[in-house]
Structure 1
Amino acid sequence: MKKKISFPVLLSLAFCLSACTPAASAPQGEAPARATAEAATAQATAETALVQGTLCNIEDCENTGKALYQWQVEAQADGTTLGNLVELDYATAQQRRVLDTGMPSYRLGSCFARGNTIYYTTFEEDGRTLHSIDRASGTEKTMPVVDGYGVGFIDDRALYLFVQRSWGYASMQRVDLKTGTAQTIPMPAQTIRVCDGAEGRFLITRLIGEVSLSSLQDEEQRAAALQTATAEYAWWDPDDGSVEPLFQEPYTGELAQSGWPRERVYLGKADGMFYFYRAEWTETTQENCRVERCAPDGSGAETVLTMEDGQGLPGVLRSEGEIRWLVQGSGNGVVVYQPADGSTRHVENPSGGDTPWPLALTDDGRLLLYNFYAAHPEDSIYCLVRQEDYLASNFTGTNVAPVTEETEEA
Structure 2
Amino acid sequence: MDDGAAVTAEAVFREEHGRLLAALARRFGDLDLAEEVAADAIEAALVHWPARGVPPNPGAWLMTTARRKAVDRLRRDKAYAARLALLQVEADRAAPPATGDELPDERLQLFFTCAHPALPAEDRGALTLRCLAGLTTPEVARAYLVPQETMAKRIVRAKKKIREARIPFRVPGPDELPGRLPGVLQVLYSIFTEGYTASSGPDLQRRDLADEAIRLARILHRLLPAEREVTGLLGLMLLIHARRDARTGPAGELVLLDDQDRGRWDRPMIEEGLRLVPAALAGGPPGPYGVQAAIAALHDEAADVATTDWPQIVALYDVLLTLVPSPIVRLNRAAAIAMRDGPEAGLALLDELAAEPRLRRHHPYPAARADLLQRLGRRTEAAAAYRQALTLAGTAPERALIQRRLTELEEPDEGP
The structure richer in strand per residue is: 1
TM-score using structure 2 length: 0.24
Between Structure 1 and Structure 2, which shows a larger proportion of helix residues? Answer: 2
Report the TM-score, using the length of structure 1 for normalisation.
Answer: 0.24
